[in-house]
């Protein structure tokens, strides 16, 4: 009986220690989510402005540009999957990976080859465990993205897009990430980055008209200059959305884990008290039995 009490005490101590860790991680995520949401909001004006500029060039000019023209045959696609570097965020990375698997299956059903690019160690571990090949991996700072990383990803994707299929190039580019809607709702999403599909984060009014531009030099050269920046801004916006979603998911997961730890501590405390009470009852019974034996003798 004493050994059982010691076991419950050890479980209470270990669960209490874990509860402190969960609480600390919840507080850290809660303190960082505000900054992450601010960065998401701050990225929208630039992203929307460059989107409007590219939209105007693409829609108001009769040009045949490889970045805005749908190829006759799409034979190979690049898929960028954005996961987290760390765990303890509930089903955040699992949801993105599941969405990525669905997209890969759809592309293969359409007869397309898939080249995979990964952001985050969780995605890297997922593919390494299954012995799947990936083109490139970027890790570090998924919960606090840097623009230099987005620029590096954009350059790698554009280089592949501008490379011929026979030399290993791709015909289209997709991004799989988690869209931040609120502290409660974060949804895995897929966007096709290239060939260009102009979609703004904030929907424009149907009555709003694109501005008219005079191009100097030609529209093709304007697109050559604008599109790399457009791609970088879209990638960085997706990374910021994913970071805010990761922190929100981690805060919820750590709160749930802390609540579960509290319930376990109560359960183990009750079991420990029951075991202690049973031990005291047994000792009293032994004392009474001994006293009865002595009086009988």
Q: Are 197 and 191 in contact (CB under 8 A)?
A: yes
Q: Which residue did the predictor score with more confidence, 281 or 249?
A: 249
Q: For position 22, what pLDDT does the model report?
A: 93
Across 136-145, 223-232, 235-244, least confident range: 223-232
pLDDT at 260 over 90: yes
Q: Are 117 and 80 in contact (CB under 8 A)?
A: yes
Give the CA radius of gyration of the chain: 29
Distance (Å, whole) CA 135 – CA 187: 25
Q: Which residue did the predictor score with more confidence, 164 or 217?
A: 164
Per DSSP (E only), the strands in the chain are: 76-82, 113-119, 136-138, 172-180, 186-194
Q: For position 207, what pLDDT does the model report?
A: 42
Average pLDDT over the chain, rounded to an integer: 86
| Phi then psi dihedrals of residue 255, to 5 deg | -65, -45
Nearest CA to 174 out of 240, 77, 96 is that of 77
pLDDT digits (tens, 9 = 90+) for 177-195: 999 998 889 999 999 988 8
| Phi then psi dihedrals of residue 138, to 5 deg | -120, 125
Q: For position 18, what pLDDT does the model report?
A: 93
Q: For position 275, what pLDDT does the model report?
A: 85
Nearest CA to 114 out of 170, 194, 176 is that of 170
Nearest CA to 276 out of 75, 80, 8 is that of 8
pLDDT at 98 over 90: yes
Distance (Å, whole) CA 85 – CA 139: 7
For the beta sheet containing 136-138, the strands, ordered from the edge strand earlier in sequence to the opposite edge, are 136-138, 113-119, 76-82, 172-180, 186-194
pLDDT digits (tens, 9 = 90+) for 198-215: 444 444 444 455 556 666
Q: For position 281, what pLDDT does the model report?
A: 83
Q: For position 60, what pLDDT does the model report?
A: 61
Residue with tokens 């954005």: 82
pLDDT digits (tens, 9 = 90+) for 101-151: 999 999 999 999 999 999 999 999 999 999 999 999 999 889 899 999 999
Q: For position 217, what pLDDT does the model report?
A: 67
Residue with tokens 């749908």: 70
Nearest CA to 100 out of 74, 126, 70 is that of 126
Q: Any residues with CB less than 8 A from the CB of 26 and at least 6 apart, and which?
A: 250, 251, 254, 255, 258
Pairing mode of beta strands 186-194, 172-180? antiparallel
Nearest CA to 65 out of 231, 233, 223, 230 is that of 223
Cis, peptide link before residue 80, omega less than 30° from 0: no
Q: For position 59, what pLDDT does the model report?
A: 67
pLDDT digits (tens, 9 = 90+) for 62-74: 666 666 777 788 8
pLDDT at 221 over 60: yes
pTM as predicted: 0.83
pLDDT at 55 over 80: no
Q: For position 73, what pLDDT does the model report?
A: 85
Q: For position 293, what pLDDT does the model report?
A: 78
Q: For position 196, what pLDDT does the model report?
A: 73
Cis, peptide link before residue 210, omega less than 30° from 0: no
């Amino acid at each position: 009986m004493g050994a059982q009490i010691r076991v419950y005490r050890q479980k209470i101590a270990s669960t209490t220690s874990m509860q402190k860790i969960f609480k600390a991680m919840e507080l850290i995520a809660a303190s960082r989510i505000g900054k992450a949401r601010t960065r998401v909001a701050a990225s929208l004006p630039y992203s929307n402005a460059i989107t409007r500029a590219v939209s105007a060039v693409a829609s108001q000019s009769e040009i045949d540009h490889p970045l805005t023209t749908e190829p006759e045959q799409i034979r190979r696609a690049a898929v960028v999957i954005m996961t987290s570097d760390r765990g303890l965020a509930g089903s955040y990375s699992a949801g993105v990976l599941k969405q990525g698997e669905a997209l890969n299956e759809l592309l293969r059903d359409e007869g397309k080859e898939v080249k995979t690019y990964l952001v985050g160690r969780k995605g890297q571990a997922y593919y390494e465990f299954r012995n799947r090949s990936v083109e490139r991996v970027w890790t570090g700072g998924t919960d606090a993205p840097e623009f230099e990383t987005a620029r590096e990803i954009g350059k790698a994707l554009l280089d592949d897009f501008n490379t011929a299929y026979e030399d290993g190039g791709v015909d289209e580019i997709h991004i799989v990430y988690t869209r931040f809607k609120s502290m409660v709702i974060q949804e895995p999403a897929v966007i096709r980055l290239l060939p260009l599909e102009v979609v703004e984060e904030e929907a424009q009014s149907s009555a709003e008209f694109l501005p008219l531009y005079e191009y100097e030099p030609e529209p093709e050269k304007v697109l050559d200059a604008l599109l790399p920046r457009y791609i970088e801004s879209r990638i960085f916006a997706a990374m910021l959305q994913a970071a805010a979603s990761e922190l929100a998911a981690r805060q919820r997961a750590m709160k749930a884990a802390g609540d579960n730890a509290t319930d376990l501590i109560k359960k183990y405390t009750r079991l420990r008290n029951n075991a202690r009470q049973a031990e005291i009852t047994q000792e009293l019974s032994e004392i009474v039995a001994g006293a009865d034996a002595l009086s009988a003798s």
